[in-house]
Copies of this chain bind each other. A is one copy, B any other.
Amino acid sequence: MVRRTGRRPGNQDTRQSILHAARAVFAERGYDKASIRAIAGAAEVDPALVHHYFGTKDKLFLASMNMPIDPSKLLPEALAGPRESAGVRLVGLVLRIWDSPAGAAALAVFRSALSNEWTARLMREFVVTQVLRRAVTELSLDPAEAPIRSALTATQIAGLLFVRYVLRIEPVASMPAEALTRAVGPSVQHYLTGDLPQL
């Protein structure tokens, strides 16, 4: 054991180096092809140290994006239950998070996703691997249809967040989450489980 007091600034630097390397590697290779080993290499530290500080690759990814929520904990609970009301529950979950104190941090991540190509890639990796892929599994969607269903779902949910929290267009900006969930939930439900046109 090293003495903690003396090492803290160094540890903070190491942590930051790892997070910086993680952002670069996740954006460049995508989540699936980014390995803890490659990130450790880019940060010039031992892979064991990355595990020590951040645990799993999922957790490192969330930390590297300053993501205030962990979809692996939230989604299964929200999506458990009847498939035919999953759309409403998903919209309800998203609005609960964004209306909560975590919303400000989520908004910062959302804003940064638009600022450049590099942050947009991180955001795409987050949405696809952490949110949509889990939703597809929880809902047992047909693998052949899962990509289009989940991407269409993303269009409705991303736009809802954009109009309510970024543009703040009324009445969507101020209406109660319950009413908005009733209005938008059916579109999400349609994308998840409804009949899709010939594409």
- Of chain B, the residue at the smallest CB distance from A180 is B199
Of B147, B158, B160, B168, the residue contacting A167 (CB under 8 A) is B158
Q: Which secondary structure dominates where chain A touches chain B?
A: helix
Q: Tell me if B155 and A160 are in contact (CB < 8 A).
A: yes
Contact of A152 (CB < 8 Å), options: B110, B172, B191 = B172
Most buried by B among A128, A187, A191: A187
Nearest 10 pairs of A and B residues by beta carbon: A159-B159, A114-B114, A155-B159, A182-B197, A151-B172, A158-B159, A187-B187, A179-B199, A124-B167, A155-B163
| A154: interface (CB < 8 Å) | yes
B110:A166 contact, CB within 8 angstroms: no
Question: What chain B residues lie within 8 Å of A65 (beta carbons)?
Answer: none
Q: Which of A111, A127, A128, A158 has the most CB of B within 10 A?
A: A158
Minimum C-beta distance from A55 to chain B (A): 26
Residues facing B in A156-191 (CB within 8 A) are 156-160, 162-164, 166-172, 175, 179, 182-184, 186-187, 190-191
Q: How many copies does the complex hold?
A: 2
Partner of A154, one of B154, B158, B163: B163
> A5 an interface residue at 8 Å Cβ cutoff?
no
Q: Which residues of B contact A162 (CB under 8 A)?
A: 155, 158-159, 162
**Quick check: A151 and B163 within 8 Å, CB to CB?**
yes
CA distance A66 to B179 in the complex (A): 36
| CB atoms of B155 and A184 under 8 A apart | yes
Task: Tell me the complex Cα distance, A199–B170, Å.
Answer: 14
Q: Report if A49 contacts B (CB, 8 A).
A: no
Q: Does A140 contact B (CB under 8 A)?
A: no
Judge if A148 is at the interface, Cβ distance under 8 Å. Answer: yes
Q: State whether the Cβ of A115 lies closer than 8 Å to any Cβ in chain B.
A: yes
B169→A154 contact, CB < 8 A = yes
